[in-house]
Every structure is written in structure tokens, then in C-alpha cells.
């Protein structure tokens, strides 16, 4: 995978990695990580799993803050299971689309499209149908901070520390943002804005982009 594509995918896919799946080709998992949780924490994590399991579609905006301090904006569309679209606004030319089987990473400026199998990329927790974060071996930490609960996850069971942090609001437990930390320690944060669940989404949003048609943005 090209370095630029890897950074782009990590901001979206790795940070939302499902606690039950890993990327193909990894070494055998390490020993399970025990997370100390109070009864209140366990109830909160279960409520987050229920919230994610209850989502069918989701629409909103996002602000991505990269490790170098630069920022890009865009719109996100989710339709479970497996379909999503991250449509970056100018000056970014990036577009990420999953049709439920294949992930296409496109650059409108260069008119390029690269394809990856969805099963070979860690799936996001908001794309799965059956989520149980509390019993996941990838859950590393549960923290509370200024009206939010932050779940630390490791994208691979071979890691001893979290490299993904999902932030949910309290007490409604809605997903607000996530932060991924790469192997060099650089952080990428995606802040979600104006999320609307349960909306009707046009099927064209999840059609994989093709060269020559990248400038056209489907109606939503």
C-alpha cells in the first residue's frame, strides 16, 4: 500500500477498527488485556455497544486534524452493514467509498482510484451489526473527561497499548470523535459534526468511483 494511501486509510479505517476483527496476515494474538472497570463503566460501555448496534444509517460532517497540524473537512455517510463514504471538501481531492465489499480510495485531482478488499482492512465499529466492546480483547482503557467517555482500543492484539481512542458524549453515548496514533507517534483526530442517524441515503453514494467520473458528486 502506498504511504499516502496508508495515512489516509488509517485516519478512517484503523481508528474505527472493530474490536472483533483484525487485518489479514497478522501474527497470532497476544494474551488478552484485562481492563479495570467499575459497574458504571461496564454499563456505559454496554450502552455504547447498544447505540452502535442500533445505528442503520448516519450522515454528518467531519473535521480531520492531521499530525502536522493541517486540517481538512468533509461529509460522511454510513449505511450498515459495510457501506460508507468519506467525501473530502476542497482543497483536498480525496474520496473514500465502500460498497460493502470493496473500498475505493480516489484522488479527484490526479484522477486515480485504488481498490482494496474490505475484509482485508480492519472494519469500523460503526459498520458492524453485532458489537460487544466490553468483551473485546482489543479494549485497553475506559476514561472520562469533561462530559465524555473515551475508549482506548488497540487495532491489533499484538499491541500492548491503545492506538485508537473513540470519544462518546455522556450520558447519551453518541460518537463525537476519534484519534489514531501511528507507529511514529503522530496523531490524527477526526471530529464529527451534525450527525443525523436514521436518514434515507441515496444508493449512488456508495457506488465505487471510476476514473473519468470523479468530479461528479451524487445527490444525497
**Domain count of the fold of the chain:** 1
Average pLDDT over residues 141-168: 87
C-alpha cell at 134: 466490553
Please give the model's pTM, rounded to 2 decimal places: 0.78
What is the share, in percent, of the chain residues with pLDDT greater than 90?
Answer: 43
Residue 71 lies in a domain: yes
Looking at residue 1, its pLDDT comes to: 47
d(CA 55, CA 129): 9
Q: Can you give the residue range of the structural domain that contains 119?
A: 3-18+37-195
Query: Which residues, listed in sequence order, are joined to residue 181 by a DSSP beta bridge?
Result: 187
- Within 10 angstroms of residue 111's Cβ, the number of other Cβ atoms is 14
- Within 10 angstroms of residue 27's Cβ, the number of other Cβ atoms is 9
Residue 159 lies in a domain: yes
Q: Which tens digit of pLDDT belongs to each residue from 2-20?
A: 545 555 555 554 434 333 3
Residue 157 lies in a domain: yes
Q: Is the pLDDT of residue 162 over 90?
A: no
Looking at residue 29, its pLDDT comes to: 46
Residue 47 lies in a domain: yes
Q: What is the 3-state secondary structure (H, E, C) of the chain?
A: CCHHHHHHHHHHCHHHECCCCCCCCCCCCCCCCCCCCCHHHHHHHHHHHHHHHHCCEEEEEEEEECCCCCEEEEEEEEECCCEEEEEECCCCCEEEEEECCEEEEEECCCCEEEEEEHHHCCCECCCCCCCCCCCCCCEEEEEECCCEEEEEECCCCCCCCCCEEEEEECCCCCEEEEEEECCCCCEEEEEEEEEEECCCCCHHHHCCCCCCCCCCCCCC
Residue 156 belongs to domain with CATH number: 2.50.20.10
Looking at residue 124, its pLDDT comes to: 55
Residue 165 lies in a domain: yes
Residue 142 lies in a domain: yes
Residue 48 lies in a domain: yes
Specify the length of the chain in residues: 220
**For the CA atoms of the chain, what is the radius of gyration?**
17
Residue 206 lies in a domain: no
Looking at residue 56, its pLDDT comes to: 93
The reply to whether omega before 18 is within 30° of 0 (cis) is: no
Average pLDDT over residues 158-169: 85
Mean pLDDT is highest, among 1-15, 20-34, 97-111, for 97-111
Q: Is the pLDDT of residue 82 over 90?
A: no
Q: Which tens digit of pLDDT belongs to each residue from 167-194?
A: 999 999 999 998 888 778 888 898 999 9
Amino acid at each position: 500500500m502506498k504511504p499516502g494511501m496508508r495515512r489516509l486509510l488509517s485516519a478512517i479505517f484503523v481508528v474505527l477498527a472493530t474490536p472483533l476483527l483484525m487485518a489479514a496476515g497478522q501474527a497470532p494474538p497476544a494474551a488478552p488485556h484485562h481492563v479495570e472497570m467499575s459497574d458504571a463503566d461496564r454499563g456505559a460501555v454496554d450502552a455504547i455497544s447498544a447505540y452502535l448496534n442500533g445505528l442503520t444509517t448516519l450522515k454528518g460532517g467531519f473535521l480531520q486534524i492531521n499530525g502536522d497540524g493541517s486540517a481538512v473537512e468533509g461529509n460522511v455517510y454510513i449505511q450498515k452493514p459495510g457501506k460508507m463514504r468519506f467525501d473530502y471538501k476542497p482543497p483536498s481531492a480525496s474520496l473514500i467509498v465502500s460498497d460493502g465489499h470493496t473500498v475505493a480510495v480516489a484522488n479527484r485531482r490526479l484522477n486515480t482510484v485504488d481498490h482494496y478488499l474490505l475484509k482485508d482492512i480492519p472494519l469500523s465499529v460503526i459498520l458492524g451489526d453485532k458489537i460487544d466492546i466490553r468483551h473485546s480483547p482489543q479494549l485497553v482503557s475506559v476514561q472520562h473527561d469533561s462530559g465524555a467517555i473515551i475508549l482506548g482500543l488497540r487495532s491489533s492484539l499484538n499491541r500492548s497499548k491503545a492506538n485508537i481512542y473513540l470519544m462518546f458524549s455522556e450520558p447519551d453515548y453518541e460518537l463525537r470523535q476519534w484519534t489514531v496514533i501511528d507507529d511514529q507517534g503522530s496523531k490524527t483526530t477526526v471530529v464529527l459534526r451534525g450527525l443525523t442517524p436514521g436518514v434515507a441515503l441515496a444508493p449512488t453514494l456508495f457506488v465505487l468511483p471510476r476514473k473519468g467520473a470523479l468530479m461528479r458528486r451524487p445527490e444525497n
